[in-house]
Amino acid sequence: MYAIVEIAGQQYKVEEGKKIFVHRMEAAEGENVEFEKVLLIDNDGVITIGEPVIENTVVEGKVLSHPRGDKVIIFKKKRRKGYQKRSGHRQDLTQVEILSIGARGEAKKKSPAKAKVKVKAEAEAEVEVEGKAEVKAETKKAPAKKVAAPKEKTEKKTAEKKAPASKSVKKPAKE
């Protein structure tokens, strides 16, 4: 089971028990946090898509630490002008461990919350599904390629051996 969650303006794919790095959050170390902007949940093949978010669904996590990222070097140069500028940057991050994915108020839930889902198939047909049903869209299959029948073997013509080409002799140029 995984979910796509929006945290601090960026989307992350999260799973229970995984640790992720996000932009610095105001929460203290050891504090539990909830992310309410759940955009998609995949529960063993049953996909629930929010419009734009899934109602009454949260991802709970625990703040582990506030490290800093690797240093990124910014180097600017203008050729033939003698201009060079070098600076660096280290991003402030927060490490979060994902504890649970599910409905608000429940400790753990195995099936996703009810939501209306619209799926547009390749056949340009819209299918609306409500509830926990698995979404399956009909697709047009391309017609099978016809395999040509094997050609009958024809008798091989034996080519007569030609005599090797005669060597040309260079004639002296006329004066």
92-102 pLDDT, tens digit each: 999 999 999 99
127-153: pLDDT as tens digits: 444 444 444 545 555 666 666 666 666
Poorest-confidence range of 44-48, 52-56, 103-107, 158-162? 158-162
DSSP secondary structure letters along 47-96: EEE-SSS-TTEEEEEEEEE--EEEEEEEEEEETTTTEEEEEEEEEEEEEE
pLDDT score, position 55: 92
- Tell me whether the omega of the peptide bond preceding residue 52 falls within 30 degrees of 0, making it cis: yes
pLDDT score for 18: 96
Contact 69, 95 (CB under 8 A): no
pLDDT of residue 113: 44
Structure tokens at 175: 């004066």
Which pLDDT does position 126 carry in this prediction?
Answer: 46
pLDDT in tens, 46-83: 999 999 999 999 999 999 999 999 999 999 999 999 99
What value does the mean pLDDT take over residues 104-126?
47
Residue 174 class from Cβ within 10 Å (0-12 exposed, 13-18 middle, 19+ buried)? exposed
Q: Give dist(CA 149, CA 168) in Å, integer.
A: 49
